[in-house]
Structure formats: structure tokens, C-alpha cells
Amino acid sequence: MMNLRGECLCGGVKYEYNGETGPVINCHCNECRKWHGSAYRTRTVGKKANFSWLSGEENVAFYDRLPNVIKTFCKICGSNLISLYKDNEGFIGLPLGAVEIVDSMKKAEQIELLKPSYHVYVDYKADWHDITDNLPQYKELPDEISSIHKLKQD
Ligand SMILES: [Zn+2]
Ligand SMILES: [Zn+2]
């Protein structure tokens, strides 16, 4: 069980997640690279029922033009918040760069759970970025390793 808090750059939007999370992936797809303006997106997945906005929900904006994902972001500072899955409404995507572990007693254990398990969509990775770790790499995101799939099995 994970206890996470996240907030945007301006601090106007805050949220928490208390519950189980799925495997953490580094996604190198074109959408994630543009979305984050970075080499890849590191994210996990959780159950929507375990998520709540703590403050600033009125500043949450929605981008709903991707096939299966609605991304949310802060209207003031533009930071990425959670993502919503159109085909899996009970789940959310959590970008790890924005979250912190709340429970200091369980920090070491939770840090282990937040370490990435694999790279996906590596065929789309930025030309200038070399993957230098030994994690498994996938050309796309096979269903059997997807975080939603793993969380559904529990
Ligand atoms: Zn903000
Ligand atoms: Zn992606």
C-alpha cells in the first residue's frame, strides 16, 4: 500500500493517493515525450477510488484529444497531473515526477515499489537519448505487462 502526495509546480493543485500501485514504467512514446517535454514519462497506475484532490480542483484542466487517455494539468502553471483512461475508467495514471512518499516509516519499502520495472515504446525513443540501465525494453506496451492489467488481477 502506497501513500503518495502530489502537487503542481505552483502548488495550487494538490492530491493524494492511498492504495496499491502497479508497476512503474518509463514510456518513450511520442505522446509522452511531448506531454512532458522530456526523454520519457515515468508513471505508475492506481485505482481511481484511492485517489482524491486535496485542493485546487477548480484549477484542473482536461485535454481530451488522445485516443484512450484524458490528460489533466494545472490551468495556472501547466504541470501534468493525473491521467484518466477512457477504456478503463476505474484507473488513473500517476506521473512519478510530481509525487512524494508521505509515510516516512515506510519510505524505504515504498521507494522500491516506485522504481521503474521496464521501458516501453522504445522504438519511438528520442534519438539523442541512450537507455543505459538493464531494465527490460519493449517495442510497445504488451497487455501482460501493463500496470492496469496487473492491478486488475488483484
Ligand atoms: Zn499549478
Ligand atoms: Zn507513452
Quick check: 32 and 40 in contact, CB under 8 A? yes
CA of 99 to the centre of ligand 1 (A): 14
| pLDDT tens for each residue of 78-123 | 999 999 999 999 999 999 999 999 988 889 999 999 999 999 999 9
- Percentage helix, strand, coil for the chain under 3-state DSSP, each rounded to 5: 25, 40, 35
CA of 45 to the centre of ligand 2 (A): 13
| pLDDT tens for each residue of 119-144 | 999 999 999 999 999 999 999 888 87
The full set of domain ranges for the chain reads 2-126
Least distant ligand from the CA of 124: 2
pTM of this structure: 0.92
What's the chain's average pLDDT?
94
Q: What is the mean pLDDT of residues 48-58?
A: 98
CA of 141 to the centre of ligand 2 (A): 9
Instruction: For domain 2-126, say whether CATH 2.170.150.70 is its number.
Output: yes
Q: In what order do the strands lie in the sheet with 51-55?
A: 51-55, 14-19, 2-7, 99-101
* Torsion, CA 106, CA 41, CA 154, CA 91, rounded to 10: 110
Report pLDDT for 154: 63
